[in-house]
Structure 1
Amino acid sequence: MTDVSRLPGSAHHHWQWQLRAACRDLGPGRFYHPAGERGEDREERDAAAKRVCGGCPVRAACLDHALRTREPYGVWGGLTEEERRALARRRVTAGASTGR
């Protein structure tokens, strides 16, 4: 479940970036895998989602949102949930090694 305590709030300007998202009118099926999806089917769905993200003008904002809220599912900002978790771990490790 998304950590809603980290959501930026209801202020309109916090969500404005979503209006320019390349995925806005595509529906969630391309970005969230069905329960139990594995292997080639999942890889193909992820690749299709990442192609949409690749040309998105708000990809960085989307990824930032997913990382801040610890979005547990789907492709956000061009990264799968597993890729986002790995990125978050690397950031924590890098922060620890730099004293941040």
Structure 2
Amino acid sequence: MTLDQGEPAGPASRTTANGFGQLTAVASDFEALFDAVEDEWQDRALCAQTDPEAFFPEKGGSTREAKRICSGCEVKADCLEYALHNDERFGIWGGMSERERRRLKRGII
């Protein structure tokens, strides 16, 4: 399989001598891009500018301050998505406690 003139060049069109695409290279490129985008939201998070202890209170401690900070954060949705995707079990992420995230995953909220 070769590229004909007029075919677009790019990751989807990479081929090898045996005709198979270089899926490993494409996957690697995608993962690097995904990681860069993933880290970008964290740089803009308000929690990165505050005391991290507020977001990881002791058992029975108040989550009020962390949730107040989250309420004004522009990347709150990205943060919650990250926590759900990575099964974060501790701390306040996206304005939700561990218990609230478990309920959300189970469809209770």
Q: Secondary structure at the match of 1:24?
A: helix
Q: Distance in 2 between matches of 1:55 and 1:14?
A: 20
What do residues 53-86 of structure 1 show as CA deviations (whole Å, max 9, x unaligned)? 0000000000000000010000000000000000
Partner in structure 2 of residue 24 of structure 1: 48
Moved over 3 A (4+): none
Q: What is the CA distance between 1:28 and its match in structure 2?
A: 1.8
Alignment root-mean-square deviation, CA: 1.6
Question: AA paired with 1:30?
Answer: A
- In the alignment, does 2:74 pair up with 1:57? yes
Partner in structure 2 of residue 68 of structure 1: 85
Q: Secondary structure at the match of 2:73?
A: coil
Identity of aligned residues (%): 39
Q: Distance in 2 between matches of 1:13 and 1:77?
A: 17
Q: What is the CA distance between 1:29 and its match in structure 2?
A: 0.3
Q: What is the CA distance between 1:15 and its match in structure 2?
A: 1.2
Structure (1/2) with the larger helix percentage: 1
Larger Cα Rg: Structure 1 or Structure 2?
2
Question: AA paired with 2:106?
Answer: R
Question: AA paired with 1:49?
Answer: A
Q: Provide structure 1 residue ranges, at least 5 long, that are not aligned to the other structure.
A: 1-8, 92-100
Partner in structure 2 of residue 14 of structure 1: 38
How many residues were matched structurally?
Answer: 76
